[in-house]
Amino acid sequence: MKKVVILCDERNRNILSETISIMKEIWRDMGYETIELFVSEEESPDKYMNELVRLKEDFLVTFAMAGFAWRGLMEQVRFNTLMTMQIHILVGDLSHYDFFLQKEYGIHSFFFTDNEKIVKNWKERYLLVPFLKGIPTLYVSEHLTEEEKRLNRGNLRGVVQTVMTFIEKPSVL
């Protein structure tokens, strides 16, 4: 069975759990097995990278740049060593986004953000990000309203569809 791993920082578990559930539902509807992996800064990144390699997932989805602090020996982004397609969803305006977006990423990395400032400055400020697209606001809260869930479902479905369309018919980035 095809697999998707959804990666989230443990500190964001409560406010992102409903949004992650929506993302899991979207992938399951497409026939994918979904696995949630909540990561902690206190744990060795090797533990998580080894798990990602073991799972042999088809897609990796991250929220709020979870795991981006993991670096290799030459300070390269460790996600670049994975052969899996990657969808990175930046929610809101977190201070660490600017630092991480200035790193080099493989062409299998798709970034989506609801932060207009990042989208506006992408081509000038984040030259090493291969694909970045703006999306409507994603709502994050421990308890989303039915309307917020509906809007998130549509926005996240759009993210997945954008990546699938690109994979089926690649275009110039």
The full DSSP string for 141-156 is: -SS--HHHHHHHHHHH
Q: Is 37's pLDDT higher than 80?
A: yes
Query: What per-residue confidence (pLDDT) applies to 35?
Result: 95
CA torsion angle 133 166 161 144 (round to 10): -30
Q: Which residue has the tokens 């443990």?
A: 10
Q: Can you list the domains of the chain with their CATH numbers?
A: 3-168 (3.40.50.2300)
Q: Is 75's pLDDT higher than 70?
A: no
Q: Is 58's pLDDT higher than 90?
A: yes
Strand partners, 88: 62, 111
Residue bearing the bigger pLDDT, 76 or 85: 85
Residue 73's pLDDT band (cuts 50, 70, 90): low
Coil, strand, or helix at residue 161? helix
Q: pTM to 2 decimals? A: 0.92
